[in-house]
Amino acid sequence: MSAGKHEHIIKSVLPGSIAEELEIEAGDKLIAVNNCEIEDVFDYHYYTNEEELVLLIEKPDGEEWELEIEKEYEEDLGIEFEQGLMDEYRSCRNRCMFCFIDQMPEGMRDTLYFKDDDSRLSFLQGNYVTLTNMSDHDIERIVRYHLEPINISFHTTNPELRCRMLHNRFAGEALKKVDRLCEGGILMNGQIVLCKGINDGEELERSIRDLTKYIPCLQSVSVVPVGLTRYREGLYPLEPFQKEDARKVLETIHGWQERIYEEYGTHFIHAGDEWYILAGEELPGEERYDGYLQLENGVGMLRLLEDEFQEAYEGAKGDEKVREVSIATGLLAAPYIRRMAKRLTARYPKTKIHVYPIRNDFFGELITVSGLITGQDLITQLKGQELGEKLLLPCNMFRSGEEVFLDDVTLGEVKEALQVRAYIVKSSGRDLMEAIIADSVYSNESR
């Protein structure tokens, strides 16, 4: 293998997969697919999509196996590699004035301080990239392999302002890469992190206007308020948005939605849920979210939660069972969870539901989402409270696929500290309702 190239060592093989059938094992090394050297996960996905493959595998003892495979188009081989990207992760070259990682305290686990800006993670995991780390070679491969969607952090379309916001003199020039992706027919989603007095007002109007030219390749753009923690010493002096600010932002977005929908049949520009809470305005109906393309950015999450809950509620028969349940959530979602709990007790009159909004003392009270709540804040604020027979916690409080909070407190430790049966609940409104009324034995209990 040429200098600078990574060895693609297999970490595991999924049970029942094509790879297991071919006796590929952990520790084996992938050398080539169809006689092509694999640079990274982009190449791997592209070449292994084919119906007929020839894999060159090297065993730990140096023996090489050439394996011929016939499969369905895009059928997965069931191989997981030691490095998920089959290459080094690319760290961010920017020093954004609003970067959340710069606002974190010391002493947390190392992975939380890594700033990624990797187009491959955008394709694989939906991460947003600024384009400043994306080479011409990356653009060419994305277009050639037709890897989509790519999620882009725009923040502003004003090149000079973008350089200042990202603290990168190439940030304005990087916007030209959007033209190349659009010419290649690549689907994209965008986001704007709005900073008061920086890229709002007339700058937001300009950005929305400029971005409409990329419709339909650019499917949606979300506008979310900057997250400000209490750890901002020495950083750019950003101010939090107030109620009147939020109303102006929503007025701008709603005005553009109407114009864009009339011309393109899509609402395109979307406001994060936090704007509606801050402005004291009702959430839009489902039809305004164009299929919820920006859920991971907190756009439409509360509307979807309410609608899913209502659908499940309408099919519920109700009963007279005695229950006492507690739900912990962030300040943002708490009023909506309370409203759903009140509705549920009308059909389940002997069910008592406590909803506890957890104040974010760790990051600061301006952080109101449940996904940034720590185990230590949860324990401190729930100690001595009425918790009933079980405590329900949203899945976004935890590291993906694990029972661990941001501060490395585990679900088991929460259960032990609060002396309550603790459960992780999936994000849908139906899952929440079913978790409330389910019997005490529940599939994801911490034991």
Domain ranges of the chain: 8-81, 101-298, 305-437
Q: What is the pLDDT of residue 261?
A: 98
Residues contacting 287, CB < 8 A, separation 6+ = none
Buried residues in 305-323 as b, exposed as e (16+ CB within 10 A): bbbbbeebbeeeeeeeeeb
Assign a CATH topology to domain 8-81: Pdz3 Domain (2.30.42)
Question: Coil, helix or strand for 402?
Answer: coil
The burial of 33, by beta-carbon neighbours within 10 Å (0-12 exposed, 13-18 middle, 19 or more buried), is given as buried
**Of 361, 363, 394, residue with least CA distance to 379:** 361
Q: What is the pLDDT of residue 121?
A: 57
Q: What is the pLDDT of residue 115?
A: 60
Strands 390-394 and 422-425: parallel
Going by the DSSP 8-state scheme, the letter that residue 8 receives in this structure is E
Sign of CA dihedral 29, 35, 38, 43: negative
Identify the helix (H) or strand (E) that includes residue 178: helix 176-183
Q: Using 70 as the pLDDT threshold, list the residues of the chain that sit under it.
A: 1-5, 85, 87-91, 110-126, 440-447
Peptide bond into 216 cis (omega under 30): yes
Q: What is the pLDDT of residue 84?
A: 73
Question: Across the chain, how many H-helices and E-strands are there?
Answer: 14, 15
Q: What is the pLDDT of residue 141?
A: 87
Q: What is the pLDDT of residue 1?
A: 40
Is residue 418 a contact partner of residue 387, using CB atoms and an 8 Å limit? yes
Peptide bond into 394 cis (omega under 30): no
Is residue 38 a contact partner of residue 8, using CB atoms and an 8 Å limit? yes
Q: In CATH terms, are 8-81 and 101-298 the same topology?
A: no
How far is 145 from 155, CA to CA, in rounded Å?
Answer: 27
Which residues, in sequence order, are bridge partners of residue 189? 151, 220
Q: What is the pLDDT of residue 161?
A: 98
Q: At what angle do helices 334-347 and 429-437 cross, to 10 degrees?
A: 50
Q: What is the pLDDT of residue 114?
A: 58
What is the DSSP track for 134-169? Answer: --HHHHHHHHHHT---EEEE-S-S-HHHHHHHHT-T
* The CATH number of domain 101-298 is 3.80.30.10: yes
Sign of CA dihedral 123, 126, 129, 131: positive
Q: What is the pLDDT of residue 7?
A: 86
Q: What is the pLDDT of residue 446?
A: 39
HSE at residue 334, side-chain half, CA atoms within 13 A, is 15
Tokens of 199: 């890229």
Distance of CA 6 to the CA centre of its chain: 28
Q: Which CATH class is domain 305-437?
A: alpha beta
